[in-house]
C-alpha cells in the first residue's frame, strides 16, 4: 500500500516489548489522523481479587502483575499498606529495600537497553542477532544484567518474584559477610555500566522531542527510587522544541495521598486503550522524567558519565526530551544504581530485627515508588481485621500511553514530511518509538478491547 490518499497501518503484535500490544495508525493523505497503541493483553483483574485478601498478601500477589518489575509492585504495596497502618520503615531496613530496588533497576533497565532497545540502533531483530556482530557488547550486557539479578537473588531469594519482602521489612536480613562477595561483583559491574553509557552514547539518534509534562517522585538529596513526593515538570509552552526548552522548568508537587485527585484514569470507547491524564494533561513517567526531576542528585560518577555522554549537566538545569536518547538516560540510571548499591553495602550495619511490626487497622493507605519504567502508585483500603476491601493499582504504562501515542503521531507526521515511507519503514519507526519509552505492557492492569475503525 502506498501512502497517497487514505491508508491504515496496523501492526498486529509489537515485538521486543513485554506483554502484548498492537498499533493502529490512520492517515488521511499527508496527515496522521489517528495513532493508537492498543493493549490486547487480557485482563487479569488484580484489583478485584485483592478484595478479601489479608493485608499481608498484596506484596506477594501484586508482584505477579509484572515479571520484569516485581520489586516495584512489592515496594509500592508495602508503602501503601504501611501507610494505612501508620508505620514508617526507615534506617537500615529502608536502605535494604533501596538495595533490592537497585537490583531490579540494574536487571530490568539493562534488559531494556541491551535486549529490547539496542537492536533497533543496528537494524537487528534481536540481541541474539546483534550478538553475531557485537558479541562482546551483548556479553557485557548479560553480565551487567546478571549483577542486578545477583542482588535480587541474595536479598530477595530469587530474581523474579522475590520471596523475602514482607510488610515492615524482610523475612530475613543479610549479614555483612554475605554482602561482601556481592560488592566485589558490583565493582566489576560498575565498569560494565560505565562502558554501557559510552556504548549507547555512540549510537545515532534522530532529532525528536516530547512536549509532555514529566512526572516522577522527588526526594531532595537523593535520586528518588523507593520513596518521594509526586512531582510534575511541565512541558515547554510550544511543541516546537528549541534548545531553550531543554531547560528544566519550575516543578510543582502534591502529596501521594492526593494522587487520585490529580491522575485520572478513564476508559474511552473506540479510542485509545486507556487514557490517563495528570491535571487534565498528557504526562510521561520513567527515565526521562526522573532524570529531569532528580538528575541533580545523581552520584558524581553518574553525573560525569551523563555529561560525557552528551546529556549535559542536570545540575545546570539541562533535561533530555528526546525519546530516542532515553537509552542513554537509562544507562546512566543503571550506573547510578550500581554505584548506589555499593554505597548501601558499604554503609550497611545489620538492623536488630528483619522487620518492624505492622499492626492492622482500618483505613486507606497510598504508596508510590519509581518502577524502572516509571511511577507506580498503589492504594489499599483495609478494615479493622486487616482485610483488603478496596485496591487500586496505577502502573506507569497506563500513564504513559497518551504520551506515547502523541509521540507516535508526531514521529510519523515528521516522517511523512520527508518523503514516501513504506509501510515496513513506518512500522519499524513506530515500534522504535514505543520501545523508546516503555516496552512493558503486561503491567496494564486495565485493558480495553479495541475496535479498529477503518476509513
Partner 1 sequence: MTASDRPKLAVWKFASCDGCQLTLLDCEDELLGIAERVEISHFLEASSADAPGPYDLSLIEGSVTTQQDVDRAQHIRAVSKRLVTIGACATAGGVQALRNYADVADFQAAVYARPDYIETLATSTPISAHVPVDFELRGCPIDRGQLVEVITAYLAERRPDVPAHSVCFECKQRGTVCVTVAHGTPCLGPVTHAGCGAICPAYGRGCYGCFGPSNSTNFPSFIPLLRRDGMDTLDVVRVLRTFNTAAPEFDTASRKELEE
Residues of this chain that bind partner 1 (CB under 8 A): 13-20, 41-49, 51, 53-54, 57, 60-61, 64-68, 70, 111, 115, 119, 125-129, 131, 135, 138-139, 142-143, 145-146, 149, 157-161, 163-164, 166, 170-172, 266-267, 269, 354, 431, 442, 445-449
> Any idea which residue has 493485608 for its cell?
55
Cell, residue 164: 523475602
Find the shortest distance in angstroms from Cβ 268 to partner 1: 9
* Closer of 60 and 226 to partner 1 (Cβ): 60
Find the shortest distance in angstroms from Cβ 346 to partner 1: 24
Residue 372's nearest CA partner among 68, 1, 24, 123 is 68
Find the shortest distance in angstroms from Cβ 266 to partner 1: 7
* Closer of 66 and 263 to partner 1 (Cβ): 66
In three-state secondary structure terms, 73 is helix
**CA distances for 174 relative to 78, 156, 169, 326, angstroms:** 20, 10, 12, 34
Q: What distance in Å separates the CA atoms of residue 136 and residue 180, rounded to the nearest whole number?
A: 27
Q: Is the dihedral of CA 218, 374, 297, 222 positive or negative?
A: positive
Q: State the first-to-last Cα distance of the chain, in angstroms, to the nearest integer.
A: 14
* Closer of 20 and 406 to partner 1 (Cβ): 20
* Closer of 139 and 453 to partner 1 (Cβ): 139
Q: What distance in Å separates the CA atoms of residue 163 and residue 322, rounded to the nearest whole number?
A: 38
* Closer of 60 and 340 to partner 1 (Cβ): 60
Find the shortest distance in angstroms from Cβ 182 to partner 1: 16
**CA atoms lying within 13 Å on the CB side of residue 130:** 22
**CA distances for 304 relative to 100, 281, 300, 341, 352, angstroms:** 25, 34, 6, 18, 37
140 and 92 in contact (C-beta within 8 Å)? no
Residue 330's nearest CA partner among 351, 309, 315 is 309
262 and 114 in contact (C-beta within 8 Å)? no
Starting at the edge strand that comes first in sequence, how are the strands of the sheet with 388-394 ordered? Answer: 363-371, 374-382, 388-394
* Closer of 339 and 431 to partner 1 (Cβ): 431
Tell me how long the chain is: 455
Q: What distance in Å separates the CA atoms of residue 412 and residue 27, rounded to the nearest whole number?
A: 10
Find the shortest distance in angstroms from Cβ 110 to partner 1: 10
Find the shortest distance in angstroms from Cβ 163 to partner 1: 5
Element (H, E) at 11: strand 6-11
* Closer of 318 and 444 to partner 1 (Cβ): 444
Cell, residue 403: 504520551
Cell, residue 423: 509501510
* Closer of 70 and 209 to partner 1 (Cβ): 70
Find the shortest distance in angstroms from Cβ 89 to partner 1: 18
Find the shortest distance in angstroms from Cβ 9 to partner 1: 16
Q: What distance in Å separates the CA atoms of residue 131 and residue 114, rounded to the nearest whole number?
A: 10
* Closer of 321 and 437 to partner 1 (Cβ): 437
* Closer of 60 and 83 to partner 1 (Cβ): 60
Find the shortest distance in angstroms from Cβ 135 to partner 1: 7
Find the shortest distance in angstroms from Cβ 308 to partner 1: 27
Angle at 285 between CA 283 and CA 286, to 5 degrees: 155
Backbone phi and psi for residue 258, each to the nearest 5 degrees, phi listed first: -95, 10
Find the shortest distance in angstroms from Cβ 99 to partner 1: 15
* Closer of 127 and 334 to partner 1 (Cβ): 127
Amino acid at each position: 500500500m502506498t501512502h497517497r490518499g487514505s491508508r491504515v497501518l496496523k501492526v498486529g503484535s509489537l515485538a521486543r516489548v513485554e506483554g502484548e500490544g498492537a498499533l493502529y495508525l490512520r492517515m488521511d493523505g499527508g496527515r496522521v489522523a489517528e495513532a493508537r497503541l492498543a493493549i490486547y493483553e487480557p485482563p487479569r483483574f488484580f484489583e478485584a481479587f485483592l478484595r478479601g485478601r489479608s493485608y499481608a498478601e498484596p506484596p506477594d500477589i501484586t508482584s505477579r502483575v509484572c515479571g520484569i518489575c516485581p520489586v516495584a509492585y512489592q515496594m509500592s504495596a508495602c508503602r501503601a499498606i504501611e501507610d494505612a497502618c501508620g508505620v514508617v520503615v526507615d534506617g537500615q531496613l529502608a536502605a535494604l529495600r533501596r538495595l533490592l530496588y537497585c537490583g531490579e533497576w540494574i536487571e530490568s533497565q539493562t534488559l531494556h537497553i541491551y535486549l529490547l532497545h539496542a537492536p533497533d540502533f543496528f537494524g537487528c531483530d534481536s540481541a541474539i542477532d546483534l550478538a553475531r556482530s557485537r558479541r562482546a557488547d551483548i556479553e557485557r550486557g548479560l553480565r551487567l544484567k546478571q549483577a542486578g539479578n545477583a542482588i535480587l537473588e541474595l536479598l530477595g531469594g530469587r530474581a523474579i518474584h522475590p520471596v523475602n519482602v514482607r510488610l515492615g521489612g524482610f523475612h530475613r536480613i543479610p549479614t555483612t559477610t554475605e554482602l561482601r562477595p556481592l560488592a566485589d561483583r558490583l565493582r566489576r559491574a560498575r565498569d560494565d555500566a560505565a562502558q554501557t553509557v559510552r556504548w549507547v552514547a555512540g549510537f545515532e539518534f534522530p532529532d525528536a522531542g516530547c512536549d509532555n509534562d514529566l512526572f516522577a517522585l522527588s526526594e531532595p538529596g537523593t535520586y528518588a527510587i523507593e520513596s518521594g513526593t509526586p512531582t510534575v515538570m511541565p512541558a515547554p509552552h510550544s511543541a516546537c522544541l528549541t534548545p531553550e526548552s531543554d531547560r528544566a522548568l519550575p516543578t510543582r508537587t502534591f502529596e501521594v495521598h492526593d494522587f487520585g485527585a490529580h491522575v485520572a484514569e478513564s476508559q474511552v470507547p473506540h479510542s485509545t486503550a486507556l487514557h490517563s491524564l495528570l491535571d487534565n494533561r498528557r504526562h510521561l513517567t520513567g527515565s526521562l522524567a526522573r532524570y529531569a526531576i532528580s538528575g541533580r542528585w545523581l552520584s558524581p560518577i553518574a553525573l560525569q558519565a551523563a555529561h560525557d555522554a552528551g546529556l549535559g549537566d542536570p545540575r545546570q538545569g539541562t533535561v533530555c526530551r528526546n525519546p530516542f536518547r532515553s537509552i542513554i538516560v537509562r544507562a546512566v540510571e543503571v550506573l547510578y544504581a550500581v554505584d548506589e548499591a555499593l554505597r548501601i553495602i558499604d554503609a550497611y550495619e545489620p538492623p536488630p530485627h528483619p522487620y518492624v511490626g505492622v499492626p492492622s487497622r482500618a483505613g486507606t493507605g497510598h504508596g508510590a515508588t519509581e518502577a524502572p519504567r516509571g511511577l507506580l502508585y498503589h492504594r489499599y483500603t483495609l478494615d479493622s481485621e486487616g482485610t483488603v476491601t478496596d485496591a487500586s493499582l496505577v502502573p506507569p504504562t497506563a500513564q504513559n500511553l497518551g504520551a506515547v501515542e502523541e509521540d507516535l503521531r508526531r514521529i510519523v507526521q515528521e516522517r511523512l514530511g520527508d518523503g514516501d515511507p513504506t509501510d515496513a519503514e513506518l512500522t519499524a519507526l513506530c515500534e522504535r518509538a514505543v520501545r523508546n519509552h516503555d516496552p512493558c505492557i503486561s503491567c496494564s492492569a486495565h485493558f480495553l478491547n479495541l475496535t479498529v475503525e477503518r476509513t
